[in-house]
Structure 1
Amino acid sequence: MAMIEVSDLHVVFGTSVHAVRGVSFEVAEGESYGIVGESGSGKSTVLRAICGLAPTSSGAVRYDGAALKSPRQADFYRRVQMVFQDPYASLHPRHTIDRVLSEPLAIHGFTDRERRIEQALEDVGLGKGFRFRYPHQLSGGQRQRVAIARALILEPRVLLLDEPTSALDASIQAEVLNLLDRIRTERGLTYILVSHDLAVVAHMCERLLVMQHGKAVEELTRARLQAREATQPYTRDLLLASEGYRPLQDA
């Protein structure tokens, strides 16, 4: 049984913007699945529809075999968490890291706050000294580590990753991706990763879906991506455009 199943998903904004058009895919438990395409292809909207932040006009999203209703129930957000693209915008500038990490625990009724906060910071490579700092006192990479810690603190089964390194300097992108890779292995997590960067997808994902103009164009395995075995013209164009990419090396 798939951990996440998206069936004939359509997302329409207003009366004229058909952002996602009949997209379907399945993600197995423990798999890292990529969605790639140019800006405006609808890839981030798919993630937002899964977590209930974008309206599903038709189609279905299932988690662990059960169809999801709108609005999503609180238990869903314990099991499925999202990491957003911009660590500068996703953290409240006037909240300490302690408060950032405490809020989801309070919302979901966890009582072992101290242990979970310290463990979450340790898991992402930040020590206790970061706990009472403010976001402006952290680097971009440290902020994204806090965002990842916030997603992990409820011990979810699925992480939805929306361009998690695109706002970071190239020098620290690999560090964050390697951190995410390690956490997935240690915890047996399921990832859905959105990116426009084929190097990131090749580094992180076993399979990927190529999107264009809101539609699914082609599904590839990592091996087929690396062998340039695309069958659709749009996918081949993406590969040609990224001809200079190299697989990311471990930091």
Structure 2
Amino acid sequence: MTKALTVNGMSVRFYEFLALDDVSIAVDQGESFGLVGESGSGKSTLLRAIAGLNGFEAGSLTVDGKSYEARHRDKPFYRTVQMVFQDPYGSLHPRQTVDRLLLEPLVVHGFTDVDTRIARALDEVGLGSGFRFRFSHQLSGGQRQRIAIARALIVEPKILLLDEPTSALDASIQAEILNLLEQARKDRGLTFLMVSHDLAVISHMCDRLAVMRSGKVVETLGVEALRRREVQADYTRDLMLASEGFRRRG
């Protein structure tokens, strides 16, 4: 299977704090891969290092067959990889209309049929053209996250980095956003790398997962093995017990 993304021996340090310690993962093309662990385990730091939002002092990163240095990301990288952040309130500029938010990445990457693409993007995330000229403060949290997803998808990436994409939303909206993401993955053949603290979300969305603790990967396993409780690490068992949603599914 061709790899969409490979991290090998990656370490990230913030001053004296070792946030990632020799982390390695490999994600196949078209796969949905989860990162789970408690707060401070390093899962979001890994996502940000892949995106170039923070550097790494050791290890290597290969995306779609191309190697990348600690911080440098070229324009083709951002055609291939897009990120959806946890907080839809913080990730959208409050003084820009939805039209402007969606237009900007199209201009940056040289697309010309912008009206068609914006209309199609809004339709894909379940919002009509009536939302095009609204400001983000006029939208609900779920609508803002739909716009954030539309902005990520509009440049036709191959890989989406998803950092807790539903945790800031009401429970009633979370399932809608997860279903929207899963449909987009199927329709577009996307690869997902998804951070969540919720094993129920990961077991629903992902094929495999890495369990992280204190900046290290303690276990990598398939979701089917997780559902059967066939885990090796005591920490993974502890996470399963602590995840009320996962226990309800079991």
Shorter-chain-normalised TM-score: which range?
A: over 0.9
- Tell me the equivalent position of 2:39: 39
* SS of residue paired to 2:218: strand
- Tell me the equivalent position of 1:22: 22
Q: What TM-score do the two structures reach when normalised by structure 1?
A: 0.96
- Tell me the equivalent position of 1:80: 81
Cα pair 2:199 2:245 within 8 Å, conserved:
no
Post-superposition Cα deviations, 1:51-92, rounded to whole Å, max 9, x if no partner, equal 111111110010122211331001100110000000000001
Identity %: 61
Residues paired across the two proteins, number: 247
* SS of residue paired to 1:89: coil
Alpha carbons of 1:244 and 1:83: their partners in 2 closer, same or farther (altered >3 Å)?
closer
How well do the aligned residues superpose, as a CA RMSD in angstroms?
1.2
Post-superposition Cα deviations, 1:147-200, rounded to whole Å, max 9, x if no partner, equal 000000000000000000000000110000000000000000000000000011
- Tell me the equivalent position of 1:167: 168
Shift of 1:3: 0.6
- Tell me the equivalent position of 1:147: 148
Shift of 1:110: 1.3
* SS of residue paired to 2:110: coil
Q: Which runs of 4+ in 1 moved over 4 A?
A: none
Shift of 1:230: 1.4
- Tell me the equivalent position of 2:186: 185
Cα pair 2:218 2:233 within 8 Å, conserved:
yes
- Tell me the equivalent position of 1:94: 95
Give me the whole-angstrom Cα distance separating, in 1, the residues matched to 2:245 and 2:42. 25
- Tell me the equivalent position of 2:72: 71
Post-superposition Cα deviations, 1:188-244, rounded to whole Å, max 9, x if no partner, equal 000000000001100100000000000000011111111111111111110111145
* SS of residue paired to 2:96: coil
Letter of the aligned partner of 2:101 in structure 1? V
Give me the whole-angstrom Cα distance separating, in 2, the residues matched to 1:65 and 1:163. 26
Letter of the aligned partner of 2:219 in structure 1? E
Q: What residue ranges of structure 1 are gaps of 5+ in the alignment?
A: none
Give me the whole-angstrom Cα distance separating, in 2, the residues matched to 1:66 and 1:112. 28
- Tell me the equivalent position of 1:218: 219
Letter of the aligned partner of 1:94 in structure 2? R
Give me the whole-angstrom Cα distance separating, in 1, the residues matched to 2:180 and 2:152. 14
Letter of the aligned partner of 1:167 in structure 2? A
Cα pair 2:200 2:245 within 8 Å, conserved:
no
* SS of residue paired to 2:89: helix
